[in-house]
């Protein structure tokens, strides 16, 4: 058994739906469970419709919902569904449209929308896409069953960013996805969507469809989890910066987690945790190039193959740096204790931390409200904030054994101002902070140094 997850860019047109269906059929012998994201930009449009409804332009919000509905109707028409499945699609899709209109009308009247209601709106993207895929597969003779994720992905009640309740979810998944219950049908599952213990709709936040795939795979102990998107796999660098970026054919879970955390867009860090904990391999494939070998993520690298020192270069944008210097009123241990007490009190999430006896530098996402943190720190230190920064991260299992790696990196960047350097916090990661304006030349220079020649 395998789990196959298809992202929004993989199902953004009728041709794309047909392509995905062909890929699913090619995997029938492996008993696939198919997880879908919302088609194309549907989730973005739903978020925009909520914003319009709350902020005084409700008709524009409803117009966006009509566009979403028309988008799926147009795809269904081009797919030429058989009459029975066309009727089922039309009736159910109209129900989704009416539910969305009702929710947006309420938001417009209140000039507000609760996170609970927001989840109800956002879940419709995956409802539309899975309905259409199930109807299409059945229409072309591939027996499939539309599965309601709310019945087996159970979460806490933190709406729009709910966390799975694994024990409850695993038990339900094991009951529902028994082979004898599926009876040879291909399950089509809504990614991103779950429900609370009181059966309110919840959503899993960014990367939620990957998370759904990973939860299902872990619960069922599948042979493989396949993530299908619009790239050939994990690359050695961002292809929008480095056109010559290469596919990383193999990667460990540790490497993938570091890359995901530091900005690689193929995977979100939380989504692979259930797979990591259960040792289930993850393949990254391209729906537009299904013959590509893709990237394999697993516990250990195959010893029979050569593995480069650096596997990939990632970067994380929208970073600010908080610099804290002791006024020497405290001993070193007391100074560091007070700094981290302040961070803990304000629950500040740090992406990168470097320390010395009398100073601490902290890189954090610019969206974090740092003003109260700064005020508290300035009571016993000199604290300032620098904006418009980027964290650059080099990842590779072999880095820990490579002598002179930092020298090779920073000699190639001798004309770049570097704010922070961190090596050792993770054995597979070396990170540093630079200005946003330097990101493209830095990534290109590093890629040339490690992957070209």
Q: What contacts 447, CB < 8 A, 6 or more positions away?
A: 236, 237, 242, 244, 245, 313
**Rounded average pLDDT over 196-215:** 94
Report if residue 293 sits inside a domain: no
More confident residue, 306 or 212: 212
Which of 180, 200, 230 lies at the terminal end of a domain, its last residue?
230
The per-residue pLDDT for range 10-52, each reduced to its tens digit, is 999 999 999 999 999 999 999 999 999 999 999 999 999 999 9
Q: What is the CATH number of the domain that holds 21?
A: 3.40.1160.10
> Residue 128 pLDDT > 80, yes or no?
yes
> Residue 85 pLDDT > 80, yes or no?
yes
Q: How far apart (Å, rounded) are the C-alpha atoms in residues 160 and 193?
A: 10
> Residue 453 pLDDT > 80, yes or no?
no
Q: Which of 226-235, 255-264, 391-400 has the lowest mean pLDDT?
A: 255-264
- Residue 428: per-residue pLDDT: 87
Which of 198, 214, 230 lies at the terminal end of a domain, its last residue?
230
Strand pairing class (2-6; 32-36): parallel
Report if residue 165 sits inside a domain: yes
Q: How far apart (Å, rounded) are the C-alpha atoms in residues 60 and 53?
A: 8
> What single string gives the DSSP state of each residue in 330-392?
S-HHHHHHHHHHHHHHTTPPPSEEEE-SSEEEEEEETTS--HHHHHHHTTTEEEEEEEEEEEE
Domain limits for position 341: 312-451
- Which pLDDT band, with edges at 50, 70 and 90, does 305 fall under? low
Q: How far apart (Å, rounded) are the C-alpha atoms in residues 212 and 216?
A: 6
My answer on whether 120 and 220 are in the same domain is: yes
Count of domains for the chain: 2
> Residue 77 pLDDT > 90, yes or no?
yes
- Residue 309: per-residue pLDDT: 86
> Residue 188 pLDDT > 90, yes or no?
yes
Cα→Cα distances 48→54, 68, 116, 307, 437, Å: 10, 12, 17, 44, 30
Strand pairing class (201-203; 250-252): unpaired
- Residue 261: per-residue pLDDT: 81
Most trustworthy range by pLDDT among 103-112, 225-234, 349-358 = 103-112
**Rounded average pLDDT over 100-129:** 97
The per-residue pLDDT for range 312-366, each reduced to its tens digit, is 999 999 999 999 998 766 666 788 888 999 999 999 989 999 988 788 999 999 9
Q: How far apart (Å, rounded) are the C-alpha atoms in residues 270 and 260?
A: 9
Which of 207, 230, 253 lies at the terminal end of a domain, its last residue?
230
My answer on whether 218 and 316 are in the same domain is: no
In this structure, the chain runs to a length of 453
């Amino acid at each position: 058994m395998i789990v196959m997850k298809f992202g929004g860019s993989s199902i953004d047109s009728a041709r794309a739906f047909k392509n995905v269906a062909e890929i699913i059929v090619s995997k029938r012998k492996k008993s696939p469970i198919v997880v879908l994201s919302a088609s194309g930009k549907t989730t973005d449009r739903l978020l925009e419709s909520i914003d319009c409804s709350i902020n005084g332009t409700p008709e524009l919000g409803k117009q966006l919902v009509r566009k979403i509905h028309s988008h799926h109707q147009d795809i269904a028409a081009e797919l030429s569904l058989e009459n029975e499945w066309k009727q089922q699609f039309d009736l159910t899709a109209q129900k989704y449209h009416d539910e969305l209109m009702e929710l947006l009308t309420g938001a417009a009247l209140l000039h507000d929308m609760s996170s609970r209601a927001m989840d109800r709106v956002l879940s419709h993207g995956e409802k539309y896409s899975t309905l259409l895929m199930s109807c299409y597969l059945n229409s072309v003779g591939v027996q499939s069953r539309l599965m309601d994720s709310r019945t087996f992905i159970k979460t806490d009640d933190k709406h729009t960013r709910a966390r799975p309740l694994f024990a409850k979810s695993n038990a339900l998944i094991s009951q529902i996805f028994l082979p004898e219950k599926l009876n040879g049908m291909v399950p089509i599952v809504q990614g991103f969507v779950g429900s609370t213990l009181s059966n309110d709709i919840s959503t899993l936040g960014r990367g939620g469809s990957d998370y759904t795939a990973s939860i299902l795979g872990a619960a069922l102990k599948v042979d493989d989890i396949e993530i299908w998107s619009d790239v050939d796999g994990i690359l050695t660098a961002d292809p929008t910066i480095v056109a010559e970026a290469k596919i990383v054919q193999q990667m460990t879970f540790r490497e993938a987690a570091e890359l995901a955390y530091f900005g690689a867009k193929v995977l979100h860090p939380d989504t692979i945790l259930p797979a990591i904990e259960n040792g289930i391999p993850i393949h990254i494939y391209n729906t537009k190039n299904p013959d590509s070998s893709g990237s394999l993520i697993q516990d250990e690298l195959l010893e029979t193959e050569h593995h480069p020192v650096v596997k990939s270069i990632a970067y994380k944008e929208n970073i600010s740096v908080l610099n804290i210097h002791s006024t020497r009123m405290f001993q070193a241990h007391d100074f560091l204790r007070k700094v981290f007490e302040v961070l803990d009190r304000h629950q500040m999430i740090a992406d990168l931390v470097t320390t010395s006896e009398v100073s601490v530098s902290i890189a954090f996402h610019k969206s974090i409200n740092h003003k109260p943190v700064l005020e508290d720190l300035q009571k016993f230190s000199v604290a300032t904030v620098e904006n418009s920064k980027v964290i650059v991260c080099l990842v590779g299992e072999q880095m820990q054994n490579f002598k002179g790696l930092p020298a090779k990196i920073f000699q190639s960047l001798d004309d770049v101002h570097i704010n922070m350097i961190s090596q050792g916090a993770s054995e597979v990661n070396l990170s540093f902070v630079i200005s946003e304006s330097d990101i493209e030349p830095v990534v290109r220079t590093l890629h040339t140094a490690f992957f070209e020649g």
